[in-house]
């Protein structure tokens, strides 16, 4: 026996039958993009502090020879041409070193006035040159040279002040400077020894000449620059002779 189902009737809208197709609506046009309009300048807020910068009033610089100078006056820089050389800022006066060197090269006309301002830059250069010539000869004596110069300056400082007593005015810094500049003849001897055969009479004769040269220069400078040294010239010369003889043995042997 078949089962019956209750189906509701189909109702079509008015004016359209079951054969009328359904019309699709046309899509709505996409809205055109419009850039946002800039808001009007409302002007500075009177309640807030305002700083104005006038860029057009600044004048371009026509040269780079001078550093900028601020209008406030708190910070200002001068011209680069007024800056001292780098060596002078480091305390190295090349002209003074050259003048002292020239005065040492003439043992009969030593100028003690040039050595009143003591420095260690010149002696350090000559000691490094002395060690370099020894290195060319196959001897590595840089540490020995620096150590012996320090001990020699301390030795001459003690000897001179013991001879001068309370009137002695020789300080250790000046003594080290004088000993370093008096090493110039031995630096020349170290350079000449590279071309002279060792173990002969010639090398010993040259060593004696350059030792006497250094002794005379160092004694003259110590006596002229320090008071109460004229009456003890012989003892000071003997102490200087021992010091420079010790350095000449490094060159000979």
Q: State pLDDT tens for residues 195-211.
A: 999 888 999 999 999 99
Confidence check: pLDDT of 72 > 50: no
Structure-token match 């020789």, residue found: 170
Give 154's contacts (C-beta < 8 A, 6+ positions apart): 172
What pLDDT score does 147 carry? Answer: 95
Average of per-residue pLDDT values in the chain: 78
Domain presence at residue 128: yes
Task: Give the residue numbers spanning the domain of 218.
Answer: 121-252
Res. 113 pLDDT band, cuts 50 70 90: confident
Give the model's pLDDT for residue 99.
92
What distance in Å separates the CA atoms of residue 198 and residue 99, rounded to the nearest whole number? 33
C-alpha Rg value of the chain to the nearest Å? 47
Residue 172 is assigned to a structural domain of this protein: yes
What is the C-alpha to C-alpha distance for residues 250 and 253, in angstroms, rounded to an integer? 6
In a domain, 225, yes or no: yes
pLDDT-above-90 percentage for the chain: 44
Distance CA 156, CA 172 (A): 9
Tell me: pLDDT of 54 over 90.
no
Domain contains 112: no
pLDDT (mean) for 70-83: 54
Dihedral over Cα of 103, 211, 180, 196: its sign: positive
To the question of pTM greater than 0.85 for the whole model, the response is no
Judge whether 11 lies within some domain: no
Q: For residue 156, tell me if it sits in a domain.
A: yes
Q: Does any domain span residue 153?
A: yes
Q: Between these two residues, 59 and 150, which has the higher pLDDT value?
A: 150
- Which stretches within the chain are classed as H helix? 86-89, 94-105, 121-136, 142-164, 172-181, 184-192, 201-225, 233-252
When pLDDT is cut at 50, 70 and 90, the band that residue 191 belongs to is very high
pLDDT recorded at residue 40: 55
Q: Is residue 127 part of a domain?
A: yes
Q: Specify the number of domains making up the chain.
A: 1
């Amino acid at each position: 026996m078949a089962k019956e189902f209750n189906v509701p009737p189909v109702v079509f809208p008015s004016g359209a039958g079951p054969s009328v197709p359904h019309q699709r609506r046309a899509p709505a046009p996409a809205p055109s993009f419009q850039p946002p309009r800039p808001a009007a300048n409302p002007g500075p807020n009177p309640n807030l502090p305002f700083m104005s910068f006038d860029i057009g009033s600044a004048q371009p610089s026509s040269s780079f020879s001078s550093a900028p100078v601020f209008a406030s006056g708190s910070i200002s820089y001068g011209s680069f041409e007024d800056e001292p050389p780098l060596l002078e800022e480091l305390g190295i006066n090349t002209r003074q070193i050259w003048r002292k060197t020239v005065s040492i090269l003439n043992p009969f006309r030593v100028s003690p006035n040039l050595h009143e301002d003591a420095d260690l830059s010149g002696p350090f250069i000559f000691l490094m040159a002395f060690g370099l010539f020894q290195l060319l000869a196959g001897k590595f004596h840089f540490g020995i040279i620096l150590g012996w110069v320090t001990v020699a300056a301390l030795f001459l400082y003690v000897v001179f002040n013991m001879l001068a007593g309370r009137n002695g005015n020789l300080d250790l810094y000046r003594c080290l400077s004088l000993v370093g500049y008096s090493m110039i003849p031995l630096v020349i001897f170290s350079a000449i020894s590279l071309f002279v055969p060792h173990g002969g009479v010639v090398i010993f004769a040259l060593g004696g000449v350059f030792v006497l040269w250094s002794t005379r220069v160092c004694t003259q400078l110590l006596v002229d620059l320090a008071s109460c040294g004229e009456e003890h010239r012989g003892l000071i010369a003997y102490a200087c002779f021992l010091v420079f003889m010790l350095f000449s043995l490094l060159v000979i042997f």
